[in-house]
């Protein structure tokens, strides 16, 4: 996990910040695996109200560094539903730390395998952490991936 990071369950008051992290992460970090227009379209798929809904329906966890929300991860059952890092904190282990938190919590709840859909820009990140592609890329650009938990 990231040195100095604090991991906590997200709260309703985090909705705007988490929405902004997701949007900036997609727009700033998805290039060059997709065009700017594709990144904008993907980022627009979630509204602020949609983020609030995620906070009600999913297990959402926040990584804080330097007193700021640096990223978030979310899951429901065996599905990793999202993992985003603020570009200001990219390449500092935020995503890896959040993924570890989500996987540990899933394992503690008896889940033995994680399933997710990875974007092209995140595929290498997941492969380095033991995930395997388990199907062709979907028409919307997502790659189905999975990992066995210990």
**What are the residues facing 85 on neighbouring strands?**
71
Would the pLDDT of 19 be above 70? yes
Q: What is the pLDDT of residue 33?
A: 84
Q: What is the pLDDT of residue 66?
A: 87
Tokens of 23: 């949007």
Q: What is the pLDDT of residues 45-86, one digit of tens each?
A: 999 999 999 999 999 999 999 889 999 999 999 999 999 999
Q: What is the pLDDT of residue 3?
A: 66
Q: What is the pLDDT of residues 99-143, one digit of tens each?
A: 999 999 999 999 999 999 999 889 999 999 999 999 999 988 899
The reply to whether the predicted model has a pTM over 0.85 is yes
Q: How far apart are the C-alpha atoms of 65 and 146, rounded to whole Å?
A: 28
Find the mean pLDDT for residues 87-105. Answer: 96
Q: What is the pLDDT of residue 103?
A: 98
DSSP-assigned states of every residue in 52-69:
HHHHHHSEEEEEEETTEE
Would the pLDDT of 1 be above 70? no
Q: How far apart are the C-alpha atoms of 121 and 2, rounded to whole Å?
A: 21
Find the mean pLDDT for residues 25-35. Answer: 90
Q: How far apart are the C-alpha atoms of 69 and 85, rounded to whole Å?
A: 9
Computed from CA positions of residues 24, 28, 31, 36, in that sequence, does the dihedral angle turn out positive or negative? positive
Q: What is the pLDDT of residue 2?
A: 54
**Cβ-contact 98, 61 below 8 angstroms:** yes
Computed from CA positions of residues 47, 70, 10, 31, in that sequence, does the dihedral angle turn out positive or negative? positive
């Amino acid at each position: 996990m990231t040195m100095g990071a604090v991991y906590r369950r997200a709260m309703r008051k985090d909705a705007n910040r988490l929405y902004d992290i997701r949007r900036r992460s997609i727009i700033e970090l998805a290039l060059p695996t997709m065009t700017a227009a594709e990144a904008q379209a993907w980022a627009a798929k979630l509204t602020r109200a949609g983020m609030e809904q995620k906070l009600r329906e999913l297990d959402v966890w926040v990584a804080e560094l330097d007193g700021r929300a640096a990223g978030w991860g979310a899951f429901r059952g065996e599905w990793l539903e999202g993992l985003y890092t603020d570009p200001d904190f990219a390449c500092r282990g935020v995503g890896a730390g959040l993924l570890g938190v989500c996987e540990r919590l899933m394992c503690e709840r008896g889940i033995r395998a994680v399933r997710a859909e990875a974007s092209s820009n995140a595929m290498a990140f997941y492969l380095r952490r033991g995930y395997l592609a388990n199907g062709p890329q979907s028409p919307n650009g997502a790659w189905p991936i999975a990992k066995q938990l210990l």
